Structure 1
């Protein structure tokens, strides 16, 4: 039986529009350009193609080069032009399908390599470090994120982390030290070191380029030992009594409770039960809840404060206070004491407790420091009464000084 040859018509827009689908695929070839055709699927989709043999001749395998689907972005005339180019490559001894497959394979390989490079970029590692390590474990994760996005990622973000060399770190720290300070450079270095060590523990191919001795300041210079003198405490306390809510009472509580700035700033009324303030583990530095006994002096201050929401110290009723730098500058002007930070009040409170005979172990527990060794593992006693006694001695000592 003789086989029927596929129909041939000139593939114009009018002709293509008039062609209807059937219950099976059909191919209509162009009457003028050999091999140029249109495939129509049962769903009505129309796709231009070029059919040819490769190698040329009857012994060659029949192959089809897909040009694209008919539509607004591909007209019959445009498809015909592409078909002419395809046949030109065939005439030059090039298999168009193999060439296209090679191009697509190269593109896929390049895309895979780009994806791999992005997965190991400093930006990707930093994002994973914040999400998987810093957020679940560190109360100060926002500071880590701010430092990385402010100083590290603008310089290294798109680079693979394996390409970061010691000289890159040195150049980055040099720039930070020149523009800002050596202390800030060391702060950024500490965060980079933690991120590099975290990534090295997850990827055996990465080796941190950091070595000891890269810090810009010595340990003794970095360690702060500022403790306010009795004279400075008197001047400060007198000023705080004149500074209105929220910052006057806020700073008083920093000193009387010996807790960290953000822990007091985020203090909630719902965390207070009688004379006990329990700071939840979610926002405590060592990841454990800390119960702080409230002395009569602290309770008296709290009783005088307005209530506009759950936050004890707030200006909006919806969020805790902020703007510490501006408030601190106003306090400095009011009291005349300079060269100190809010965190120095915590160190001052610790020193005052020692002056009143509070043991080092109990003073450290008041500060919420994690205990090391066997005591840190097995001792689960809350030490509430001991901490209450220590804070009462602290309040009495402050009272004697400021009086």
Structure 2
């Protein structure tokens, strides 16, 4: 069969439907949706069926893939398992903390966590600059303390998360036999950001008036996109992460609906969000401001992400309170006596506003895309679309004089 496969046929496989295409001698070309095709060898070792990737196409040609198969088949016949050999070679190459993190990410957190890029972002920003290029066995507890103390004052929650990830990272190194002790094990949250209290920050109507007034008076500093993002957050009650990377193809503007797809929400479940008149007006403005981008909030600066960054709103709001991470000279506090708040506090404020507008609790919970609890959550499959539209409209009507003034 392998003799009949040509480079031309390989191209037809790639353009066809996603599947495993058998080439011969256990070699397959694996074609996936929106992913680079790759070669895969299926073989039997020690009585078990196994698979090993060989390389991506066209980086690895058909002829080279066949040659690689021949070499690995010879190893298997001699009693060697290619997967075990590859793992041993990889473990020998894990010398620096960066190497250890890459192995931990690939073999643990990428498979285990729903959002593996969160620890990756923390490592890249707050750990890598300190110890990324240091040999694993040379990382001392003093270095761990330096890392968590560098972020504990400004970002106590992130300091606690960083300590947790450091403990897990070096525990992975112990599991692989690369180190004998964990340099982060003796530290507790007391050494990092402290014991965290549940946030209950919720803006009063007077605070909302003052905040949006200050945003508008300082729009050159705060930015119109940030202003409208805050308006959407407080009116719809969606999560910041759901809004910042929203794409225009998720919206049916003519039907006043936002279809938040599966996997984009924290719960993982899709939800259709009804949009009141004011939201449509803000979205129409954002459509013009997005200048043809696929995203409602495209990145305004050079960035790895094509949409608004994860901390853009946090930084914009913090700067209005006279604090901006990474700046030695801090900006002026423009908010007066208003207690600082985060974008997530606007979501909590939505819940409070819904209560003040006599919205039923189970309806506001669905507006927040929370799963209904207990027996009610099991048997109540009605999605309250009309009731949620009424709830969002009540809040939009209530806030319109403030936001659109």
TM-score by length of 1: 0.56
CA contact (8 A) 2:159 2:193 kept: no
**Alignment RMSD:** 4.4
**For residue 279 of structure 1, what is the aligned residue in structure 2?**
260
CA contact (8 A) 2:244 2:308 kept: yes
Distance in 1 (alpha carbons) for counterparts of 2:270 and 2:168: 25
Distance in 2 (alpha carbons) for counterparts of 1:200 and 1:281: 37
Aligned with 1:300 (options 263, 268, 281) = 281
Distance in 2 (alpha carbons) for counterparts of 1:136 and 1:185: 24
Distance in 2 (alpha carbons) for counterparts of 1:178 and 1:387: 44
**Unaligned 5+ residue runs, structure 2?**
1-85, 322-332
Distance in 1 (alpha carbons) for counterparts of 2:159 and 2:98: 19
CA contact (8 A) 2:247 2:296 kept: yes
**For residue 368 of structure 2, what is the aligned residue in structure 1?**
367
CA distance 1:151–1:366, change in 2 (3 Å): same
Distance in 1 (alpha carbons) for counterparts of 2:172 and 2:388: 36
Once the 2 structures are TM-superposed, how far is the Cα of residue 186 of structure 1 from its aligned partner?
A: 0.6
CA contact (8 A) 2:260 2:271 kept: yes
- Classify the secondary structure of the residue corresponding to 1:254: helix
Aligned with 1:251 (options 195, 214, 230) = 230
CA contact (8 A) 1:122 1:156 kept: yes
Once the 2 structures are TM-superposed, how far is the Cα of residue 400 of structure 1 from its aligned partner?
A: 7.3
- Classify the secondary structure of the residue corresponding to 1:320: coil
TM-score by length of 2: 0.55
Distance in 1 (alpha carbons) for counterparts of 2:291 and 2:151: 39
Distance in 1 (alpha carbons) for counterparts of 2:95 and 2:401: 59
CA contact (8 A) 2:298 2:307 kept: yes
Which has the larger Rg?
1
CA distance 1:152–1:179, change in 2 (3 Å): closer
Report whether the alignment pairs 1:342 with 2:343. yes
Q: How many correspondences in the alignment?
A: 286
What is the CA deviation profile of residues 37-64 of structure 1, one whole-angstrom value per residue up to 9, with x for unaligned ones? xxxxxxxxxxxxxxxxxxxxxxxxxxxx
**Unaligned 5+ residue runs, structure 1?**
1-110
**For residue 357 of structure 2, what is the aligned residue in structure 1?**
356
**For residue 8 of structure 2, what is the aligned residue in structure 1?**
none
- Classify the secondary structure of the residue corresponding to 2:202: coil
**For residue 181 of structure 1, what is the aligned residue in structure 2?**
152
**For residue 20 of structure 1, what is the aligned residue in structure 2?**
none
CA distance 1:179–1:122, change in 2 (3 Å): closer
What does 1:27-42 correspond to in 2, within 5 Å? none
**For residue 316 of structure 2, what is the aligned residue in structure 1?**
327
Report whether the alignment pairs 1:144 with 2:127. no
